[in-house]
Amino acid sequence: MDSRQDNSSIDEFEDRTITCRHCGKEFIFTSGEQEFYELKGFNTPSRCPECRPVKAAHHNGLVCSQCKNAIDKDAAMYCKACLASVHLEYELQLKQGQKAADEALAKLQFIESRKTNLEKSMADTQSRLQISDAAKADLEKALHQKENLITELEKKVSNISGELAKVRQFHAELGGIHPALNGIQSKLDDVEREQYKINQRMLQMMEKIHDFHESTSFMEIIKRSFRRSVGEA
């Protein structure tokens, strides 16, 4: 039965598995190949792609003008329009592949940039950690100094407490001297009162002397004083 009649009755194509007449191996006849074969009116291939050139070499001696390999008669043959279409499709696929490659390259460059930034950030973090370690060491050193200072202050407080105890003891010993000190203070008060009386008398004498010499000139007073001092000498 002609395969073209079978293909014309199929609305949708699906991949088919065909056994090669020449080598007995199975090969896949794809849905795209089926559609193309039906469009071009080709028969369903009965040989696998590897055995088709062998058949062509035995029957019609067709060879590729470029590589000189045998060409299977049942292999797909394209007219100029279809060949241009195939080339166009290939170029489109190539452009899509190039676009995908460019996008992948851009993503890779972005990843590399992120990696570089991450490495820089990690280096900055490491540097900050080193600075933090140095600050921590300085803080521990300052804390140790504070602890030593506190120890010294505690010693000084202990010494001051001892001195205060001595002061309290001395103050207690002075408690019995207070009556004697009160008597001394009373005598000092008496002395101050006597001194005050003496000062009053001296003031009165000075006033009398002033009254006596009020009518005498200052030079006369000096002369008398000088004469008196010379006479005493």
- Quickly tell me which residue has 């207690």 as its tokens: 172
Lookup: tokens for 114: 């992120």
Range of the domain at 37: 3-77
95 occurs within a structural domain: no
Altogether, the residues listed in the chain come to a count of 233
Q: How many domains does the chain have?
A: 1
The Cα–Cα gap between 117 and 123 comes to: 10
The enclosing H or E element of 97 equals: helix 80-174
Lookup: tokens for 184: 């001394």
Neighbours of 22 (CB within 10 A): 13
233 occurs within a structural domain: no
> For residue 24, what is the DSSP state?
-
The Cα–Cα gap between 69 and 57 comes to: 9
- CB contact set of 57 (below 8 Å; sequence gap of 6+): 63, 70
The Cα–Cα gap between 56 and 184 comes to: 152
122 occurs within a structural domain: no
For residue 106, what pLDDT is reported? 92
For residue 81, the Cα-to-chain-centroid distance in whole angstroms is 65
For residue 26, what pLDDT is reported? 92
Residue type, 114: R
- CB contact set of 44 (below 8 Å; sequence gap of 6+): 3, 6, 7, 18, 29, 34, 37
Contact 37, 44 (CB under 8 A): yes
44 occurs within a structural domain: yes
Lookup: tokens for 17: 């598995």
> For residue 75, what is the DSSP state?
S
Give the long-range contacts of residues 172-175, CB within 8 A, separation 24 or more. Answer: none
For residue 109, what pLDDT is reported? 93
Angle 179-180-182 from CA coordinates, rounded to 5°: 65
pLDDT, tens digit only, all 233 positions of the chain: 444 444 444 457 889 999 998 888 999 999 988 998 888 888 888 888 888 765 555 555 555 555 555 555 555 666 767 767 777 887 888 888 899 999 999 999 999 999 999 898 888 888 888 887 888 888 888 888 988 888 888 888 788 878 878 877 776 766 667 676 777 888 888 888 888 888 888 888 877 776 666 656 666 666 677 676 666 65
